[in-house]
Amino acid sequence: MAKTLGELAELVGGELRGPGELLIRGIAPLEQAGPEEITFIAHPRFARLAAGSRAGAFIVGRAWADLDRPRLVVEHPYLAYARVAGVFALPRPRPAGISPLAHLGEGVVLGQEAAIGPFAYVGDRVRLGDRVTIMPGCYLGPDSEVGDDSYLSPQVVLMERCRVGARVLIHSGAVIGADGFGFVPTPQGQVKIPQLGLVVIEDDVEIGANVTIDRGALGETRIGRGVKIDNLVQVA
Protein backbone atom coordinates (compact mmCIF):
# COMPACT_ATOMS: atom_id res chain seq x y z
CA MET A 1 0.00 0.00 0.00
CA ALA A 2 1.51 3.33 -1.08
CA LYS A 3 0.97 6.55 0.84
CA THR A 4 1.97 10.12 0.09
CA LEU A 5 4.32 11.89 2.44
CA GLY A 6 1.47 14.27 3.24
CA GLU A 7 -0.78 11.39 4.27
CA LEU A 8 1.93 10.03 6.55
CA ALA A 9 2.42 13.47 8.09
CA GLU A 10 -1.27 13.54 8.96
CA LEU A 11 -1.09 10.02 10.38
CA VAL A 12 1.73 10.80 12.80
CA GLY A 13 0.78 14.41 13.52
CA GLY A 14 4.14 15.56 12.16
CA GLU A 15 5.31 18.73 10.46
CA LEU A 16 5.72 18.14 6.73
CA ARG A 17 8.88 19.56 5.22
CA GLY A 18 9.04 18.49 1.61
CA PRO A 19 6.70 17.56 -1.24
CA GLY A 20 3.44 16.29 0.20
CA GLU A 21 2.73 14.36 -3.00
CA LEU A 22 5.92 12.28 -2.70
CA LEU A 23 4.84 8.63 -2.95
CA ILE A 24 6.12 6.29 -0.23
CA ARG A 25 5.79 2.53 -0.72
CA GLY A 26 7.55 1.20 2.37
CA ILE A 27 9.77 1.81 5.39
CA ALA A 28 13.37 0.60 5.77
CA PRO A 29 16.59 1.19 7.75
CA LEU A 30 18.76 4.18 6.86
CA GLU A 31 21.37 2.08 5.05
CA GLN A 32 18.85 0.06 3.03
CA ALA A 33 16.03 2.50 2.23
CA GLY A 34 15.44 3.38 -1.43
CA PRO A 35 13.90 6.43 -3.14
CA GLU A 36 10.31 5.22 -2.54
CA GLU A 37 10.85 4.35 1.12
CA ILE A 38 10.87 6.36 4.33
CA THR A 39 13.35 5.85 7.15
CA PHE A 40 13.79 7.41 10.59
CA ILE A 41 16.39 8.92 12.91
CA ALA A 42 15.67 8.28 16.58
CA HIS A 43 19.20 8.42 17.99
CA PRO A 44 22.21 10.71 17.38
CA ARG A 45 24.46 7.83 16.36
CA PHE A 46 22.31 7.27 13.26
CA ALA A 47 22.21 10.91 12.16
CA ARG A 48 25.64 10.71 10.53
CA LEU A 49 24.29 8.03 8.14
CA ALA A 50 21.63 10.34 6.74
CA ALA A 51 23.89 11.95 4.14
CA GLY A 52 24.64 8.60 2.51
CA SER A 53 21.09 7.24 2.64
CA ARG A 54 19.07 6.81 -0.55
CA ALA A 55 15.78 7.12 1.36
CA GLY A 56 13.05 9.18 -0.22
CA ALA A 57 12.06 10.74 3.09
CA PHE A 58 12.93 10.77 6.78
CA ILE A 59 11.13 10.78 10.13
CA VAL A 60 13.17 13.01 12.44
CA GLY A 61 12.98 14.69 15.83
CA ARG A 62 13.36 18.42 16.46
CA ALA A 63 17.14 18.05 16.73
CA TRP A 64 17.32 17.19 13.01
CA ALA A 65 14.54 19.46 11.79
CA ASP A 66 16.96 21.21 9.39
CA LEU A 67 17.98 18.02 7.59
CA ASP A 68 18.12 18.89 3.90
CA ARG A 69 15.87 16.04 2.75
CA PRO A 70 12.10 15.49 2.55
CA ARG A 71 11.09 14.82 6.13
CA LEU A 72 8.45 14.60 8.82
CA VAL A 73 9.44 16.45 11.98
CA VAL A 74 7.88 14.89 15.07
CA GLU A 75 8.26 14.97 18.85
CA HIS A 76 8.79 11.20 19.16
CA PRO A 77 10.47 9.68 16.07
CA TYR A 78 10.37 6.11 17.38
CA LEU A 79 6.64 6.33 18.04
CA ALA A 80 6.06 7.84 14.61
CA TYR A 81 8.12 5.03 13.08
CA ALA A 82 5.90 2.46 14.81
CA ARG A 83 2.76 4.06 13.40
CA VAL A 84 4.15 4.32 9.88
CA ALA A 85 5.39 0.71 10.03
CA GLY A 86 1.82 -0.31 10.82
CA VAL A 87 0.69 1.19 7.52
CA PHE A 88 3.05 -1.02 5.52
CA ALA A 89 2.81 -4.19 7.62
CA LEU A 90 1.11 -7.17 6.00
CA PRO A 91 -2.09 -8.16 7.80
CA ARG A 92 -1.87 -11.28 9.93
CA PRO A 93 -3.23 -14.31 8.09
CA ARG A 94 -6.68 -15.44 9.13
CA PRO A 95 -8.64 -18.58 8.22
CA ALA A 96 -11.89 -18.11 6.36
CA GLY A 97 -14.44 -19.19 8.95
CA ILE A 98 -14.28 -22.59 10.66
CA SER A 99 -12.17 -25.22 8.92
CA PRO A 100 -13.86 -28.61 8.48
CA LEU A 101 -10.51 -30.07 9.58
CA ALA A 102 -10.76 -28.43 13.02
CA HIS A 103 -12.12 -30.35 16.01
CA LEU A 104 -14.88 -28.66 18.00
CA GLY A 105 -15.96 -30.37 21.20
CA GLU A 106 -19.40 -30.44 22.79
CA GLY A 107 -20.89 -27.20 24.04
CA VAL A 108 -18.41 -24.90 22.28
CA VAL A 109 -19.65 -21.29 22.08
CA LEU A 110 -18.44 -19.26 19.10
CA GLY A 111 -18.71 -15.49 18.88
CA GLN A 112 -19.47 -13.64 15.66
CA GLU A 113 -16.85 -13.98 12.91
CA ALA A 114 -14.71 -16.42 14.87
CA ALA A 115 -12.11 -18.12 12.66
CA ILE A 116 -10.52 -21.53 13.34
CA GLY A 117 -7.82 -23.06 11.15
CA PRO A 118 -7.29 -26.71 10.19
CA PHE A 119 -6.08 -29.20 12.79
CA ALA A 120 -6.95 -26.92 15.68
CA TYR A 121 -8.44 -28.74 18.67
CA VAL A 122 -11.15 -26.87 20.58
CA GLY A 123 -12.23 -28.80 23.65
CA ASP A 124 -15.60 -29.15 25.31
CA ARG A 125 -17.34 -26.01 26.59
CA VAL A 126 -14.69 -23.65 25.21
CA ARG A 127 -15.95 -20.09 24.72
CA LEU A 128 -14.57 -17.91 21.93
CA GLY A 129 -15.49 -14.22 21.67
CA ASP A 130 -16.22 -12.18 18.57
CA ARG A 131 -13.59 -12.12 15.81
CA VAL A 132 -11.28 -14.50 17.65
CA THR A 133 -8.66 -16.15 15.43
CA ILE A 134 -7.39 -19.65 16.20
CA MET A 135 -4.63 -20.58 13.75
CA PRO A 136 -3.81 -24.14 12.63
CA GLY A 137 -2.50 -26.62 15.16
CA CYS A 138 -3.68 -24.83 18.31
CA TYR A 139 -5.00 -26.73 21.33
CA LEU A 140 -7.68 -25.22 23.57
CA GLY A 141 -8.49 -27.36 26.58
CA PRO A 142 -11.97 -27.89 28.06
CA ASP A 143 -13.65 -24.89 29.71
CA SER A 144 -11.04 -22.42 28.45
CA GLU A 145 -12.04 -18.96 27.22
CA VAL A 146 -10.69 -16.48 24.66
CA GLY A 147 -11.97 -12.90 24.52
CA ASP A 148 -12.97 -10.69 21.59
CA ASP A 149 -10.42 -9.92 18.86
CA SER A 150 -7.71 -12.15 20.33
CA TYR A 151 -5.31 -14.00 18.04
CA LEU A 152 -3.66 -17.36 18.76
CA SER A 153 -0.80 -18.04 16.34
CA PRO A 154 -0.10 -21.57 15.06
CA GLN A 155 0.53 -24.24 17.70
CA VAL A 156 -0.43 -22.28 20.79
CA VAL A 157 -1.56 -24.43 23.73
CA LEU A 158 -4.20 -23.14 26.14
CA MET A 159 -4.83 -25.73 28.82
CA GLU A 160 -8.13 -26.46 30.57
CA ARG A 161 -10.02 -23.68 32.40
CA CYS A 162 -7.53 -20.96 31.46
CA ARG A 163 -8.86 -17.57 30.41
CA VAL A 164 -7.57 -15.14 27.81
CA GLY A 165 -8.95 -11.61 27.63
CA ALA A 166 -9.74 -9.35 24.69
CA ARG A 167 -7.25 -8.16 22.04
CA VAL A 168 -4.56 -10.59 23.22
CA LEU A 169 -1.87 -11.72 20.76
CA ILE A 170 -0.15 -15.04 21.55
CA HIS A 171 2.74 -16.08 19.32
CA SER A 172 3.55 -19.59 18.16
CA GLY A 173 4.63 -22.27 20.58
CA ALA A 174 3.39 -20.57 23.74
CA VAL A 175 1.98 -22.89 26.42
CA ILE A 176 -0.55 -21.35 28.77
CA GLY A 177 -1.60 -23.31 31.85
CA ALA A 178 0.92 -26.13 32.11
CA ASP A 179 1.52 -27.55 35.58
CA GLY A 180 3.65 -25.56 37.96
CA PHE A 181 6.73 -27.31 39.34
CA GLY A 182 5.51 -28.65 42.67
CA PHE A 183 6.81 -31.76 44.46
CA VAL A 184 7.14 -33.00 48.03
CA PRO A 185 10.38 -34.93 48.72
CA THR A 186 9.92 -38.17 50.69
CA PRO A 187 12.22 -41.11 51.42
CA GLN A 188 10.36 -43.01 48.75
CA GLY A 189 10.81 -40.26 46.12
CA GLN A 190 9.13 -37.10 44.92
CA VAL A 191 5.36 -36.79 45.36
CA LYS A 192 3.75 -34.53 42.79
CA ILE A 193 1.51 -31.73 44.08
CA PRO A 194 -1.62 -31.53 41.92
CA GLN A 195 -1.80 -28.12 40.23
CA LEU A 196 -5.41 -27.07 40.72
CA GLY A 197 -5.20 -23.40 39.77
CA LEU A 198 -5.45 -21.69 36.40
CA VAL A 199 -4.00 -18.87 34.29
CA VAL A 200 -5.83 -15.61 33.65
CA ILE A 201 -4.52 -13.29 30.93
CA GLU A 202 -6.12 -9.86 30.99
CA ASP A 203 -6.88 -7.61 28.00
CA ASP A 204 -4.34 -6.14 25.54
CA VAL A 205 -1.51 -8.53 26.39
CA GLU A 206 1.10 -9.79 23.90
CA ILE A 207 2.91 -13.06 24.63
CA GLY A 208 6.03 -14.01 22.67
CA ALA A 209 6.94 -17.26 20.98
CA ASN A 210 7.64 -20.29 23.18
CA VAL A 211 6.63 -18.53 26.38
CA THR A 212 5.36 -20.79 29.18
CA ILE A 213 2.94 -19.54 31.82
CA ASP A 214 2.26 -22.15 34.51
CA ARG A 215 -1.00 -22.51 36.39
CA GLY A 216 -1.01 -21.98 40.14
CA ALA A 217 -0.98 -24.84 42.60
CA LEU A 218 -4.25 -23.59 44.13
CA GLY A 219 -4.90 -20.03 42.97
CA GLU A 220 -4.39 -18.28 39.65
CA THR A 221 -1.37 -17.04 37.76
CA ARG A 222 -2.48 -13.65 36.44
CA ILE A 223 -0.94 -11.59 33.65
CA GLY A 224 -2.16 -8.01 34.04
CA ARG A 225 -3.70 -5.81 31.40
CA GLY A 226 -1.31 -4.46 28.76
CA VAL A 227 1.67 -6.65 29.71
CA LYS A 228 4.13 -7.48 26.88
CA ILE A 229 6.25 -10.64 27.26
CA ASP A 230 9.25 -11.38 25.03
CA ASN A 231 10.06 -14.81 23.56
CA LEU A 232 11.28 -17.72 25.69
CA VAL A 233 10.08 -16.39 29.03
CA GLN A 234 8.72 -18.59 31.83
CA VAL A 235 6.17 -17.26 34.30
CA ALA A 236 5.45 -19.59 37.18
In this predicted structure, what is the pLDDT of residue 210? 98
pLDDT surpasses 80 at 109: yes
Strands 71-73 and 15-17: antiparallel
- Residue 212 burial by Cβ neighbours in a 10 Å radius (0-12, 13-18, 19+): middle
Distance CA 233, CA 214 (A): 11
Distance CA 47, CA 86 (A): 23
Number of other CB atoms surrounding residue 9 within 10 Å: 23
pLDDT surpasses 90 at 44: no
In this predicted structure, what is the pLDDT of residue 65? 93
In this predicted structure, what is the pLDDT of residue 198? 97
Distance CA 74, CA 183 (A): 55
What are 64-69's contacts with CB under 8 Å, separation 24+?
65/15, 65/17, 67/41, 69/18
Closest CA to 84 of 149, 2, 20, 19: 2
Tens of pLDDT, residues 111-128: 999 999 999 999 999 999
Tens of pLDDT, residues 130-189: 999 999 999 999 999 999 999 999 999 999 999 999 999 999 999 999 999 999 999 999
Tens of pLDDT, residues 65-97: 999 999 999 999 999 999 999 999 999 999 999
Where are the alpha helices (H) located in the chain, listed in sequence order? Answer: 5-12, 44-47, 77-88
Q: What is the pTM of this model?
A: 0.92
What are 135-140's contacts with CB under 8 Å, separation 24+?
135/93, 135/95, 136/95, 136/99
In this predicted structure, what is the pLDDT of residue 112? 98
No. of H helices and E strands in the chain?
3, 28
- Residue 183 burial by Cβ neighbours in a 10 Å radius (0-12, 13-18, 19+): exposed
